[in-house]
Chains A and B, each alone.
Chain A
Amino acid sequence: MRSPDPADFYDVRSLLSDDEQEVQDSVARFVDEQVLPIISDCFEEDRFPLELVPQMAEMGLFGCNLDGYGCAGLNNVSYGLVCQELERGDSGVRSFVSVQNSLCMYPIHRWGSEEQKKRWLPEMAAGRLIGCFGLTEPDGGSDPGTMRTRARRDGDDWILNGAKMWITNGTIADLAIVWAASDDGVLGFVVEKGTPGYEARDIRRKMSLRASITSELFFDDVRVPEANRLPEARGLAAPLACLTQARYGIAWGAVGAATACLEEAREFASARVLFGRPLDHTQTIQRRLADIVRRITTARLMALQLGRLKDAGRMHFAQVSLAKWNNVRMALDVAREVRDILGGGGITLDHHAIRHALNLESVITYEGTETIHELIVGRTITGVAAF
């Protein structure tokens, strides 16, 4: 009997189809060869590696789980594996793909007109158009029902006023999916770069997701044609459904970040000699490594079963909440733990753990804080909304 692979202790990979393994291998190689060599510098320089976008497009990562319009049409487990491998590189790189896929291409694919789909999706799949998603506002993200951004009908157009905050890709986006309250409830609009009155500004001084662009969006009497409104999107359920898609990818991605930290910890603990023996010969370190493996293994299984449910059309958003909550909490705890195991060197970008730990501080907050996910699960258990 062969000893289990520490990074995949229950051989979850054997539950994947050949195609799914092929997807994982291809993205893993991309991350090893193109992302990992540059990502620490990008983080330090507070720079998104825009140069990776053409290669990611070439590989078909954008819109990969959507059908038609230049998209690869993969299943959802494959999309999860894409996220897992990308986040093994960096949460910021995975965020870029999550936003392009789940938050921008998905709503156009699901609620857009045929004309809108043909106009934007192939260009987005090819990476020639980059999207951003405007839902969260400066006055608080956890209660999108109270959004202040307004859309007012004016003849054949709509006039948008308001502001959005914590918007990944904002300043590099060619189009923004913007959610605004109107007399007809929440509506979704595609606001194109260069539209008068629309402005994006980068949020500076971030200590997290530094290899990712985070922006504020401002709308000052922005005139958007009716042709740019997503006709089938009605009410808050639409943007929340986008969040479910993105949270699904995050639940997978977190496993990747934690795995990267585990590998780093194992390598360090076997090489570093302290008190005359390698660190990993001690009970203290072995218990900590074992605990990390336990946590990653459960999260990995959870992500896969979530994916199988999604592919079977049986995934409930509360199941996504449980996985996002569990897996990101797991990854953040693991990253902090590994940062500690690495000793003093662990605070530098010569190691990956500190970068993952800092990134995951964002990941645990965005796309629903832990509290929000606890309450979503709580509501599902009891049938009573406590928020």
Chain B
Amino acid sequence: MKILVAIKQVPDKNARLQIDESGTRIVETDLSWEINESDRYAVETALRLKEARGDGEVVVVTLGPERARKAISSALAMGADRGIHLVDPDFQGGDPLCVARALAAVTRAEDAPLVLCGTRADDDGYGETPILLAGLLDRPAVFLTIGVEPLDGDRLRVVRELEAARQEVSEIPLPAVLGIQSGIFDVRFTSLKGIMAAKKKPVSQPTPTELGLSAEQIGKAGRRLEVLSLAPPEKKGQCEFIEGKPEEVAATLVEKLRREAKVL
């Protein structure tokens, strides 16, 4: 089975982001980049499905400028077989619908029965692309997926995460789109041989025309959602020292985390 994995290159989690003069974009110079976290789990899921079936092909696709090539290389180093880089300038600067249109065109061109996406991007966080993609392809979709198991006859058993760690198990036919949640298992360590092997794996760069897309469907020209401004989090510095014996301090802290911060 061919599995298409859509990945996005995002700024390093620990990067200190700065907003540029326009107020609508982050400054990209000197940033380090990585594969979006839930997308890495999507790659891992695809590799595990391929390994479990003993055959198939894992194709990673990303939409982004030249620098995003590194995200493809990383996924190839993990074990993906082939890459597709939507690097043409016409692809860039779109909203989630534009991205989904491009990915839908790639899915059709590749005739991939299964598409895996991360649940949401760690940078702009729309979380819309996989949903829109499933809609455009008229495919069943499961999001916040925390488990996938292939069944006989081109069906998948899929586990979905609900609120408060509840789970839902469902069965869906292929073709399908899955949004993969992060943290569902350990993503493999990239092997050094994998890094060397990645250099020899093919990465294609189809143009919009080759994918049957017109300029106004994608990228800046296709964009209907306009970002007006970005703002850093407001600084609300508040620090409270809890005094007392260790066991009292711990008890008070648990109480506060439960009642005030509502994180427990």
Instruction: Write the residues of chain A forming the contact surface with B, with a CB cutoff of 8 angstroms.
Output: 2, 11, 13, 18-19, 22-23, 25-26, 29-30, 55, 58-61, 64, 72-74, 78, 82
Contact = CB atoms under 8 A, between A and B. Distances in A.
Contact of A72 (B32, B189, B196): B196
A23 B189 contact: no
Contacts of B73: 18-19, 22
Nearest to A14: B30
Closest 3 CB pairs of A and B: A60-B192, A72-B192, A26-B190
Choose among B77, B194, B196 the residue with the greatest number of A CB atoms under 10 Å from its CB.
B196
B157 interface: no
A19 B199 contact: yes
Contacts of A64: 192
Contacts of B70: 18
A244 B124 CA distance: 49
A336 to B, nearest CB: 29
B239 to A, nearest CB: 12
Interface of B: 16, 18, 29-30, 32, 70, 73-74, 77, 189-196, 198-199
A167 B68 CA distance: 46
Given A19-B199, A58-B191, A74-B192, 9 more contacts: A2-B30, A11-B30, A13-B32, A26-B192, A59-B192, A61-B192, A72-B195, A73-B196, A74-B195
Contacts of A73: 196
Nearest to A2: B30
Contacts of B77: 22, 26
Contacts of B18: 2
Nearest to B187: A29
Contacts of A74: 192, 195-196
A132 to B, nearest CB: 23
Contact of A22 (B30, B32, B193, B195): B195
A29 B189 contact: yes
A74 B196 CA distance: 7
Contacts of B74: 22
13 contacts: A18-B70, A18-B73, A19-B196, A19-B199, A22-B190, A26-B189, A29-B189, A58-B191, A59-B192, A60-B193, A60-B194, A72-B192, A74-B196
B237 to A, nearest CB: 15
Contacts of B29: 2
Nearest to A64: B192
A60 B191 contact: yes
A25 B34 CA distance: 10
A55 B189 CA distance: 9
Contacts of B189: 26, 29-30, 55, 58-59
Nearest to A30: B189
B192 A23 contact: yes
Given A2-B16, A2-B30, A19-B199, A78 B191 contact: no
A11 B77 CA distance: 24
* Most central of A25, A26, A30, A82 by chain B CB within 10 Å: A26
A42 B136 CA distance: 55
A19 B195 contact: yes
A206 to B, nearest CB: 30
Contacts of B30: 2, 11
Contacts of A2: 16, 18, 29-30
Nearest to A62: B192
Contact of B195 (A11, A26, A30, A58): A26
B110 to A, nearest CB: 25
A72 B73 CA distance: 16
Nearest to B32: A13
B191 A59 contact: yes
Nearest to B31: A2
B33 to A, nearest CB: 10
Which interface residue of A22, A55, A64 has the most chain B CB atoms within 10 A?
A22
Contacts of A82: 192
Nearest to B67: A18
A18 B29 CA distance: 17
A58 B194 CA distance: 10
